[in-house]
């Protein structure tokens, strides 16, 4: 999506999913269609464009309801107090660090929206909040510096390095798989790999690609790997039109027959675990399993079988997955060594698949149950928070009634007592209406929770589909 936005499109519309973890230095206009009350979330949004490598001033446009006093005051806090839209880098970490929890800050704003009705009440509440924030920010600026120096030690830095390394390894593995796919699909004989980048020289494009991409793509230099604007050539990635066209073509044109393939280990491969299988022959099946529940998950399962001691044995999953990394080519249909292997019952691979399938199902079930528990807790907290304001109002009304009764006892004249009785009666009616409102809200929240629970329980029922993608006899040389 980022590649498409940078090279071909002028506008990127994103949900909150686009607020963090992406680099958009090539763009310098941010439009906040809604303005979150959490200053950290606003800063994250702006930070996608307002970061190192940006060559222009970043313009931030905020849609604001100017007729709403509360909205205006929220913007004032974000702009003046947190300085989110000014300065060289926007809000500093020290200022945002002073807000102990962006969620708590949101709750304070929500409380003002729910409890204040007049412009005076709104301004008074925001003035009080702004004063508290000023004191909090000044104090936390000093504390943040101290904590950062005391706690950001070697162990924390080492942990970040491990995570960074793991992410880079995973991305590199995806890129290598993609390079192999494109090379095989387009019959590119040589794919040069240098410093983690695969270089592909595509001399001609199949007709199915030029048709599906409306002639936007042309032969030339392409590369697969980490994006670098200095590299001459177009970067291929999983969302690139060329890659999508290749994948779609392969999916739409499956081979029904059982192939015979030669795994050429000698071609620049070094996987020591596969050395014992040089010169061996066996059977390889690839299955796709789809789990549908809270989420939809696709898993590709490789079942690699080898015949030893007159019986078929399945290799473990970790080893089976390494077979994908070996250069392969179709063999001559007539190969005495493979043809001499007796056929085996598919039940052997199906039995191995069933074990893997049940293992995956168990992991997904555990994860779904944890999510279910967390969602129920969230619903409980939501219901409590919704009722909290009503209970506070009910308590205030009780206090007003108590005070009114005390006032009645202090009255001297009959006229004053009558007025006091009317005031008490009015307050009791308001109390009764408020109690009815709480009861109604409880019923509504219960029904809402009940409906959500039913949806969750229904989504916990995992549906499974499986299909065989390909089967092949193999021989490794």
Q: Quick one: DSSP state of residue 342?
A: P
Structure tokens belonging to residue 93 = 């970490």
Structure tokens belonging to residue 474 = 């193999």
Coil, strand or helix at 301 = strand
Query: How far is the C-alpha of 3 from the C-alpha of 413, rounded, in Å?
Result: 83
Question: What would the pLDDT profile of 14-25 be if each residue is shown by its tens digit?
Answer: 998 888 888 899
Contact 236, 200 (CB under 8 A): yes
Going by DSSP bridges, is the β-strand pair 59-62/29-32 parallel, antiparallel, or unpaired?
parallel
pLDDT at 54: 84
With 0-12 / 13-18 / 19 or more C-beta atoms within 10 angstroms meaning exposed / middle / buried, residue 249 is middle
With 0-12 / 13-18 / 19 or more C-beta atoms within 10 angstroms meaning exposed / middle / buried, residue 410 is exposed
Coil, strand or helix at 188 = coil
Question: What would the pLDDT profile of 449-461 be if each residue is shown by its tens digit?
Answer: 888 888 888 888 8
pLDDT at 91: 47
Contact 401, 431 (CB under 8 A): yes
Contact 338, 475 (CB under 8 A): yes
Query: How far is the C-alpha of 2 from the C-alpha of 14, rounded, in Å?
Result: 11
Q: What percent of the chain has pLDDT over 90?
A: 6
Low-confidence ranges of the chain (pLDDT < 50): 88-91, 94, 100-103
Contact 222, 234 (CB under 8 A): yes
**Both ends of the chain: CA-CA distance in Å?**
41
- Count of alpha carbons within 13 Å of 169, Cβ hemisphere only? 6
pLDDT at 11: 94
H/E element, 466? strand 463-476
């Amino acid at each position: 999506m980022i590649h498409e936005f940078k090279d071909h499109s002028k506008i990127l519309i994103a949900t909150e999913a686009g607020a963090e973890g992406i680099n958009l230095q090539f763009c310098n206009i941010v439009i906040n269609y809604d303005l979150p009350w959490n200053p950290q979330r606003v800063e994250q949004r702006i930070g996608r464009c307002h970061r190192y490598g940006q060559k222009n001033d970043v313009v931030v446009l905020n849609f604001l309801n100017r007729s709403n006093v509360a909205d205006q005051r929220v913007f004032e806090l974000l702009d003046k107090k947190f300085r989110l839209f000014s300065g060289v880098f926007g809000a500093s970490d020290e200022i945002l660090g002073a807000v102990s929890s962006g969620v708590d800050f949101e709750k304070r704003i929500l409380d003002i929206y729910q409890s204040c009705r007049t412009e005076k009440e709104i301004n008074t509440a925001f003035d009080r909040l702004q004063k508290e924030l000023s004191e909090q920010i000044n104090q936390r600026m000093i504390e943040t510096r101290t904590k950062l120096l005391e706690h950001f030690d070697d162990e924390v830095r080492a942990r970040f390095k491990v995570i960074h390394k793991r992410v880079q390894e995973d991305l590199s593995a995806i890129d290598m798989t993609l390079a192999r796919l494109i090379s095989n699909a387009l019959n590119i004989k040589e794919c040069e790999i240098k410093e983690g980048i695969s270089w592909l020289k595509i001399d001609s494009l199949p007709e199915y690609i030029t048709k599906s991409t409306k002639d936007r793509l042309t032969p030339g230099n392409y590369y697969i790997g980490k994006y670098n604007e200095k590299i001459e050539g177009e970067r291929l990635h999983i969302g690139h039109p060329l890659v999508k066209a290749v994948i779609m073509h392969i999916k739409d044109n499956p081979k029904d027959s059982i192939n015979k393939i030669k795994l050429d280990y000698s071609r620049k491969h070094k996987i020591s675990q596969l050395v014992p299988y040089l010169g061996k022959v066996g059977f390889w099946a690839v299955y796709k399993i789809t789990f549908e529940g809270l989420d939809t998950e696709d898993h590709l399962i490789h079942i690699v079988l080898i015949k030893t001691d007159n019986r078929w044995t399945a290799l473990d999953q970790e080893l089976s997955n390494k077979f994908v990394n070996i250069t392969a080519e179709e063999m001559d249909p007539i190969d005495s060594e493979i043809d001499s292997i007796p056929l085996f019952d598919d039940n052997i691979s199906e039995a191995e698949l069933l074990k893997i399938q049940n293992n995956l199902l168990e992991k997904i079930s555990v994860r779904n149950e944890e999510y279910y528990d967390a969602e129920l807790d969230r619903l409980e907290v939501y219901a409590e928070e919704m009722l909290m304001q009503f209970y506070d109002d009910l308590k205030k009304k009780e206090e007003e009634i108590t005070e009114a009764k005390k006032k009645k006892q202090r009255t001297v004249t009959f006229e004053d007592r009558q007025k006091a009785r009317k005031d008490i009666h009015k307050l009791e009616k308001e109390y009764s209406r408020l109690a009815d409102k709480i009861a109604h809200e409880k019923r509504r929240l219960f029904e809402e929770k009940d409906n959500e629970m039913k949806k969750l329980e229904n989504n916990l029922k995992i549906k499974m589909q499986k299909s065989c993608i390909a089967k092949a006899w193999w021989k490794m040389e």
